Copies of this chain bind each other. A is one copy, B any other.
Amino acid sequence: MAVSGLSINLATVRQQYDMRQAVEACLKQDIVAIAPWRDQVHAIGLAEAARIVADNRLKVTGLCRGGMFPAADPEGLRAAIDDNRRAIDEAAALNADCLVLVVGGLPKGSKDIVRAREMVADGIAAILPHARSAGIPLAIEPLHPMYAADRACVNTLEQALDICDLLGEGIGVAVDVYHVWWDPKLYEQIARAGANGQILAHHICDWLVPTKDLLLDRGMMGDGIIDLKRIRAAIEKAGFLGPQEVEIFSEANWWKRPGDEVLSTCVERFHTVC
Q: Interface of A with B (CB < 8 Å)? A: 106, 110-113, 117, 144-146, 148-150, 153, 155-156, 158-159, 181-184, 207, 209-211, 214, 224-227
Scoring A155, A181, A182, A184 by chain B CB atoms within 10 A of each residue's CB, the highest score goes to: A184
**A182 and B214: CB pair below 8 A?**
no
A159 to B, closest residue via Cβ: B184
- Chief secondary structure at chain A's binding surface: loop
What distance in Å separates the Cβ of A205 from its nearest Cβ neighbour in chain B? 14
A211-B214, A214-B211 given; A182·B225 CB < 8 A: no
**A145 and B182: CB pair below 8 A?**
yes
Copies of this chain, how many?
2
**B225 and A111: CB pair below 8 A?**
yes
What distance in Å separates the Cβ of A117 from its nearest Cβ neighbour in chain B? 7
**In the complex, what residues of B have CB within 8 A of residue A209's CB?**
106, 149-150
Docked CA distance A111–B226 (Å): 6
User: Which 8 pairs from chain A and chain B are nearest by CB?
Assistant: A148-B182, A111-B227, A159-B184, A145-B182, A146-B146, A145-B145, A149-B225, A149-B209
Docked CA distance A209–B156 (Å): 20
A111-B225, A111-B227, A145-B145 given; A117·B150 CB < 8 A: no
**In the complex, what residues of B have CB within 8 A of residue A155's CB?**
182-184
A159-B184, A184-B155, A225-B106 given; A146·B149 CB < 8 A: no
**In the complex, what residues of B have CB within 8 A of residue A214's CB?**
146, 210-211, 214
A187 to B, closest residue via Cβ: B114
Q: Choose among B113, B144, B150 the residue that contacts A210 (Cβ–Cβ < 8 A).
A: B150
Known: A146-B146, A146-B211, A148-B182. 12 other contacts (CB 8 A): A110-B225, A111-B227, A113-B181, A113-B182, A117-B184, A145-B146, A148-B181, A149-B209, A150-B209, A153-B182, A155-B183, A155-B184
Docked CA distance A159–B225 (Å): 21
Scoring A110, A153, A207 by chain B CB atoms within 10 A of each residue's CB, the highest score goes to: A207
What distance in Å separates the Cβ of A217 from its nearest Cβ neighbour in chain B? 9
